[in-house]
Amino acid sequence: MTRYVLRRLVLAIPTLFGIVVIVFVLVHLAPGSPVSGGGEALRRPTGRAAEELRRLYGLDRPIPERFGAWVSRAVRFDLGESFVDRRPVGERIREALPHTLLLNGVALILALVIAVPLGVVAGGHPEGALDRVSGVALFALYSTPTFWMALLLQSLFSVQLGWLPLYGVASDPAPSGLAGLVDRLAHVALPATCLAYGTLAFVARLVRSGIAETREADYVLAARARGASRRRALWTHAFPNAILPLLTLFGLLLPALLSGSVIVERIFAWPGLGRLFFDSILARDYPVILGLSLLSAVATLGATLVSDIASAAADPRVRDGTAT
Amino acid sequence: MRRAWAAFTVLVLAAACRGRSEAPSARADVARSGSPPSSSTPALAALDAASEGTPVAVDGGTLQRRLLGEPTSLNAVLQTSLPEAQVLQYVQRNLFDFDAALHLVPGLAASMQVSPDGREYVITLRPEAVWEDGKPVTADDAVFTIRKIADPGIPAPVFQSLYDGLERVEALDSRRFRTVFREAYAFREMAFVMPVLPAHRFEGRDFRKAPDNRAPLSSGPYRVAAWKSGESVELARNPAYWGPRGHFDRIVLRIAPDNTTAYRMLLAGDLDEDQMDATLKARAESEPRFSDCCRLVEFYTLDWSYVALNNRSPFFEDARVRRALTMLSDRAAAARDLYRGSARVISGPWAPDSPAYDASLPPLPFDPAAAKALLAEAGWRDSDGDGTLDRDGRKFAFDLTVPAGFETGRQVSEMLAAELAHAGVTARVRTLEWAAFIERVDAGEFEAASLAWSAVDPNPDPYPYWHSSQCPPHGLNNGCYRNPEADRLMEEARRELDPSKRTALFHRLQRIFRDDAPAIFLVNSTQKFGFDRAVRGVTTSPLGLSGIWPGPVGWFMEPIPRASTSVKRPAA
């Protein structure tokens, strides 16, 4: 097992390096430059001033040299300074990170809490009424565009009913104590719902198909033969086996916690990583783009590693390399 | 004519706000510049009814304004975009400002003396002007600021070009300083519509990373009380302010990037002011929920749009062809249908409210028959009968590039492409992301491009944009228009210190621009804002709401109790 973990860790390093190289090259080869600024610039530097700016940003140096400088800083956990406001990239990410973690964490919990029981119940009676209805509903949800859902939810819950806040992370001024917590949760409700429903549909269908397969398995039939109730057979015998693919899925879902959603964060004026990423791309703020890409690459690799190790721990065939 | 490129209609057509000066005072409610377009008459009528009788300015309350994005820096020299300018207007006074009529009025400075040769400016600061920490605003501060602006190692894109010809700047005593330029320039005084930074706060610090860039020392009526990244900037009164105080106790500038959300925030009372696009304006006009709480303020600014033509391209090197393209474009229909009436057709590179514009000169007519004749005269004929014009074996087909997000620009381009197709000219409308788009335009690597100017100040100088010496890659004459007669007039206008003679030169230039059609000049359109009905003292100007002094600093809240939003009103 230790050898397996070590092997995976060692393999992760060239993967990470590959990702970083590709992102670095793509970012620098894309048309446009940090000197042009965003479309909102009052005046753009031109001529000599633009050349000076390019030098200031180090853009006059060849790409390999820039890459070397960036890597040598990055391995020391220094992501450099934003071109836009000259603040450390780490500081800008740290400011936005908690907002995105909260939003995506709530969205993920919301999705799982609904999706798993729904999937189990639907998979327990494949082709039953609930399975059919939920199947159609989930596909409809999965294919609903987020921006449309966001505007719809805002219209209904904030404008028409006035139950939930329209935008932002907290009221101004924010109440303290329990009222403050309720206020934060009220603010997160709509954007989290927007982020959750797609995942929900996806996870529910995955659980459902796992359950539908395993409910016919010999060990489940054996449990039933020994007198276990249908419900017990489903939850204690079929479910743990059906959940295995979910472990792999977690490898994909967890890094999503860090990757903000541009659309949802923009519509709900949520100051998270998605907006930071989007704005940085528009402004060609290379250090911030690279910092955020590195963060999500590390998160993806880390989560994949953890889910692989969890699968290996749960299934000897995986770590022996004998899985078929 | 120092201007900003505008990409997104709503996001950017807002003019810059670098204006501030003089006392915020009770004034007539709305001074509109330019005549309002007819389609908005009902809303404007309501506005007028509401402002019957001169309202008396009331102190107190909170004003909630919208920022489109996060300010990058609150160092006034380093500012680059509208959000910074919107915040800084409350916090940093300029030496001079434009008033609503675009006249220069004193701010931190009390007076300006110009040498007879027009190269030397001696500026005297107000003796009462102090910083938030009580220290006086000195000539050393102004000299420090100008040197930073002129320092090529400092990214100061908003001000740098104003000091291009700077020879030297020096303090004469604690209140007076002298700025010497290499040559006289007719619009030089506009260089002094600039902020002043407190030199003592930057001593021994990296200018680009000083703490003051996040929490600036105020010289204006408000100071920064809080800056929540990605959420809002809050301002409170500056107790040390030396001028007449602002009316609001507190100003909250909320970051709301999405237009629909911002519109809903306005309806919900979470914003008191919101800039709108044509679609939201149409919605506001039909929604009782809007008229219950809010009013529409619409006015013409110095912004205008056009299709740049690359005069070096074999398609557009002939003025007859460029003129023909303009005449194939039904600009009046675009103004009526695409801008919903909130636009007027222009005949040259200025807005009608610019002092340089000659309103008596009509734009080229929409005349497809005459246009086709012009094209034929220039050698463009459909020789192979495939429906597309050709000359020397080359088809008349070009790319018309539009920046992404510039919705009206894209619509106008599609309409133009359809009109050109009738005459056998193929324009392929291509959308490019902004940074990629503008890089190509700056480099002169385009055939035709849809663009809009957003006026940062009223300088009408066409030299940087149309003089033959300013072709890419080093200048802003993107289409590389060349006309020796126009060159001469532009040079003369820059040197002409008599405003009326200058205007005459601009009028002659406008006729040349119209007939030479270096670009397809389209329209001057309005800016549209939704306002909470209780906000008073709003003054519009050709520079927008914010580009003038006192501008938003003169706004106040009328104490009308209203059920939905009464919570934020000051006590009557």
Shortest distance between the Cα of B40 and any Cα of chain A, in A, equals 26
**Confidence at B34, pLDDT banded by 50, 70, 90:** very low
Q: Which of B351, B374, B376 is nearest to B363 (CA)?
A: B351
Residue B43 predicted with pLDDT over 70: no
Contact B11 A279 (CB under 8 A): no
The three-state secondary structure class of A303 is helix
Contact B229 A271 (CB under 8 A): yes
* Residue A64: cis peptide before it, omega within 30 degrees of 0: no
Residues of chain A in contact with residue B81, where contact means CB-CB under 8 angstroms, are 37-38, 40-42
Please give the sequence-ordered ranges of beta strands (E in DSSP) within B278-332, or none if there are none: 294-300, 304-309
Give the number of residues written for chain B.
572
Q: By the CB < 8 Å criterion, does A96 face chain B?
A: yes
So what's the pLDDT on residue B152? 86
Q: By CA distance, what is B163's nearest residue in A?
A: A49
Average pLDDT over residues A171-198: 90
When scoring A40, A92, A288 by the number of chain B Cβ atoms within 10 A, the one with the most, hence best to mutate, is: A40
For residues B76 and B17, the answer to whether their CB atoms sit within 8 Å is no
CA A28/CA A65 separation, integer angstroms: 12
Query: Could you read off the pLDDT of B280-311 as tens digits, one per residue?
Result: 999 999 999 999 999 999 999 999 999 999 99
**Confidence at A319, pLDDT banded by 50, 70, 90:** low
Residue of B228, B261, B476 lying closest to A166 (CB–CB): B261
Q: Which residue has the tokens 């990055």?
A: A74
Residue of A84, A92, A269 lying closest to B261 (CB–CB): A269
Query: Could you read off the pLDDT of B258-288 as tens digits, one per residue?
Result: 999 999 999 999 999 999 988 899 999 999 9
For residues B278 and B339, the answer to whether their CB atoms sit within 8 Å is yes
Q: Which of A84, A56, A67 is nearest to A27 (CA)?
A: A67
Average pLDDT over residues A86-108: 92
Q: What stretch of H or E contains B113?
A: strand B109-114
**Confidence at B5, pLDDT banded by 50, 70, 90:** very low
Average pLDDT over residues A43-72: 85
Shortest distance between the Cα of A184 and any Cα of chain B, in A, equals 14
So what's the pLDDT on residue A42? 73
**Confidence at B31, pLDDT banded by 50, 70, 90:** very low
Average pLDDT over residues B431-444: 91
Residue of A39, A169, A267 lying closest to B261 (CB–CB): A267
Average pLDDT over residues B323-347: 95
Longest alpha-carbon distance in chain B: 79
Pairing between strand B250-255 and B232-237? antiparallel
CA A256/CA A211 separation, integer angstroms: 25
Contact B265 A39 (CB under 8 A): no
So what's the pLDDT on residue A321? 64
Residue of B256, B261, B434 lying closest to A39 (CB–CB): B434
Structure-block tokens of residue A60? 């006059």
**Of A52-61, A91-100, B28-37, B226-235, which range is least confident?**
B28-37
Q: By the CB < 8 Å criterion, does A268 face chain B?
A: yes
Longest alpha-carbon distance in chain A: 85
Residues of chain A in contact with residue B83, where contact means CB-CB under 8 angstroms, are 40
**Of A4-8, A250-254, B353-357, which range is least confident?**
A250-254
Pairing between strand B448-455 and B397-403? parallel
Residue of A42, A167, A279 lying closest to B69 (CB–CB): A279
**Of A147-151, A241-245, B31-35, B385-389, which range is least confident?**
B31-35
What Å distances lie between residue B119 and B182, B269, B416, B500, CA to CA? Answer: 7, 51, 46, 21
Contact B435 A159 (CB under 8 A): no
For residues B350 and B391, the answer to whether their CB atoms sit within 8 Å is no
So what's the pLDDT on residue A210? 84
Residues 173-232 of A with CB under 8 A from B: none
Residues near A286 by Cβ (< 8 Å), separated by ≥ 6? A27, A28, A34, A57, A83
Contact B476 A46 (CB under 8 A): yes
Residues of chain A in contact with residue B72, where contact means CB-CB under 8 angstroms, are 84-85
Q: Which of A177, A173, A158, A188 is nearest to A270 (CA)?
A: A188
> Within 13 Å, how many C-alpha atoms sit on residue B41's CB side?
3
Residues near B318 by Cβ (< 8 Å), separated by ≥ 6? B378
So what's the pLDDT on residue A314? 72
Q: By the CB < 8 Å criterion, does A90 face chain B?
A: no
So what's the pLDDT on residue A52? 81
Q: By the CB < 8 Å criterion, does A40 face chain B?
A: yes
Structure-block tokens of residue A172? 């101004």
Residue B566 predicted with pLDDT over 50: no
Q: Which of B18, B63, B16 is nearest to B235 (CA)?
A: B63
So what's the pLDDT on residue B505? 97
Residue B13 predicted with pLDDT over 90: no
Q: Mean pLDDT, chain A, as a whole number? A: 86
Q: What stretch of H or E contains B186?
A: none
Residue of B158, B255, B260 lying closest to A151 (CB–CB): B260
Query: Could you read off the pLDDT of B105-126 as tens digits, one per residue?
Result: 999 999 999 999 999 999 999 9
Q: Mean pLDDT, chain B, as a whole number? A: 87
Average pLDDT over residues A60-87: 90
Give CA angle at A151 (A146, A155), nearest 5°: 145
Q: Please report, rounded to a whole number, the percentage of residues in chain B having pLDDT higher than 70.
A: 88
Query: Could you read off the pLDDT of B63-109 as tens digits, one per residue?
Result: 999 999 899 899 999 998 889 999 999 999 999 999 999 999 999 99
Residues near A86 by Cβ (< 8 Å), separated by ≥ 6? B73, B208, B209, B213
